[in-house]
Amino acid sequence: MQMVDFDSAAFLRDYWQKKPLLIRNPWGNWINPLEPDDLAGLACEEGIESRLVTRKRTKWVLEHGPFPETRFDTMGKAPWTLLVQAVDHHVPDVAALIAPFRFVPNWRIDDVMVSFASDGGGVGPHFDQYDVFLVQGLGRRRWRIGAACDQDTPLLPHDDLRLLADFDATDEWILEPGDMLYVPPGIAHDGVAVGDDCMTYSIGFRAPSRSELVGHWSDHILELLPEDDRYRDGDAQVQDNPGEISPDALAGLHAMMSEALMDRAGFARWFGEYNSMPKYADMDWRPESPVDADDVRSALKSGTPLCRNPASRLSFIRQDVDGLLLFADGRSFACTGASAEFAAILCAQDHVALHADMEASDEVIALIVALCNQGSVAFEDNEEDML
């Protein structure tokens, strides 16, 4: 599925992280990629995150999946919506919805959540911390958007749902199949199904919070720091007042702390690994028994396509002249020459077409072996596992 007449550079300049944008059917020919029954089926599976939100008059009720299949037989009259997270990990046609948004780097992409609502169903007025493209799949939904919110914005008292206490719409639209609404982080929004069979795809992004970065990076450093790396007095002087922590001592202490935290190369490696950690352990593509270089060579020789696990997170940073550090599902791989070329292609394409020089490279073969054995890629014979 491609978007026609969508200028991604202009979008990034004028709207991304700035203001909402409604785009009426940007697809040449919109085809809803998932049947409602299949979504309900996913919500019954162990290891898939799903929620059911029902609005009973003014009361919002939240249930967590997995649901028994019979749960959807008797839904009652109150408006409800079913939400299933990371559907792209399980349904290739839903994963294909991400492709047009690849103008945003891999490391910022989260997953595709899919909702299905009865007439009047929705999750209530709220704001998210992340950018989202809301693509109307089936049926119609009235979207209203409101003001920018932050941590001080009043919320309704509810244990699980973060619903806005006050919501004043500044704009509203009814989205038809194929229509799309971009909502930046922090902007209040509320989507209500107009009629039954309302299906919405949320292509969601992520951005680490400063507290998450500082917390996890310092946890990582803590694991590396030895006990005997300690403060030492330089040329100690007699102090006028023994109660003072002298400026020299403070400077030394502060330097100890900041030198450890400021390790730029260490941070880059750690961040790439941390950011590429899989969110759900549900898509285990690891082979039953580990593959070796001969297996990979013969799969390549027979022309079997190499595919990325749709749940895998892949990205890289450039290093030295022709090298890069590839991050795949929490691990890093230093690559140069042909393997760097291969890693760059792997990060850019769902189905990886290897050039002849890559197939001839032992380094590339070794990298594919490692990636296969950790389940980040597989030769296409395994693709049915995705479903």
Interaction between residue 191 and ligand SIN (CB under 6 A):
yes
Interaction between residue 115 and ligand SIN (CB under 6 A):
yes
Q: Which stretch binds ligand SIN (CB under 6 A): 104-112, 120-128, 206-214, 313-321?
A: 120-128
Shortest distance, CB of residue 378 to ligand SIN, whole angstroms? 31
Interaction between residue 122 and ligand SIN (CB under 6 A):
yes
Interaction between residue 202 and ligand SIN (CB under 6 A):
yes
How far is CA 224 from its chain centroid? 28
CB-nearest residue to Co ion: 128
Shortest distance, CB of residue 144 to Co ion, whole angstroms? 12
Q: Which of ligand SIN, Co ion, none interacts with 200 (beta carbon under 5 to 8 A by kind)? A: ligand SIN
Beta bridge partners of residue 205, listed in sequence order: 109
Q: Which amino acid is at 190?
A: D
Site size toward ligand SIN, by CB under 6 A: 11
DSSP secondary structure string for all residues of 64-86: ESPPPGGGGT---SS-EEEEES-
Interaction between residue 128 and Co ion (CB under 5 A):
yes
Those residues with Cβ within 8 angstroms of residue 57's Cβ, 6 or more apart along the chain or in another chain? none
Interaction between residue 189 and ligand SIN (CB under 6 A):
yes
Instruction: Report the residue number, 18 or 355, with the smaller CB distance to Co ion.
Output: 18
Instruction: Report the residue number, 145 or 335, with the smaller CB distance to ligand SIN.
Output: 145
Those residues with Cβ within 8 angstroms of residue 70's Cβ, 6 or more apart along the chain or in another chain? none
Q: Which stretch binds Co ion (CB under 5 A): 78-86, 104-112, 123-131, 218-226?
A: 123-131
Interaction between residue 111 and Co ion (CB under 5 A):
no
Interaction between residue 128 and ligand SIN (CB under 6 A):
yes
- The 3-state DSSP composition of the chain as helix, strand, coil percent (nearest 5) reads 30, 25, 40
Q: Give the tokens for residue 8.
A: 């991604």
How far is CA 283 from its chain centroid? 15
Instruction: Report the residue number, 111 or 341, with the smaller CB distance to Co ion.
Output: 111
Those residues with Cβ within 8 angstroms of residue 69's Cβ, 6 or more apart along the chain or in another chain? 40, 44
DSSP secondary structure string for all residues of 168-219: --SEEEEE-TT-EEEE-TTEEEEEEEEEEEEEEEEEEE----HHHHHHHHHH
Those residues with Cβ within 8 angstroms of residue 39's Cβ, 6 or more apart along the chain or in another chain? 82, 84, 87, 114, 116, 199
Site string (172-211) toward Co ion, x via CB under 5 A = ----------------------------------------
Instruction: Report the residue number, 80 or 333, with the smaller CB distance to ligand SIN.
Output: 80
Interaction between residue 200 and ligand SIN (CB under 6 A):
yes
Binding site for ligand SIN (CB under 6 A): 81, 115, 122-123, 128, 132, 134, 189, 191, 200, 202
Q: By CB under 5 A, name the binding residues for Co ion.
A: 128
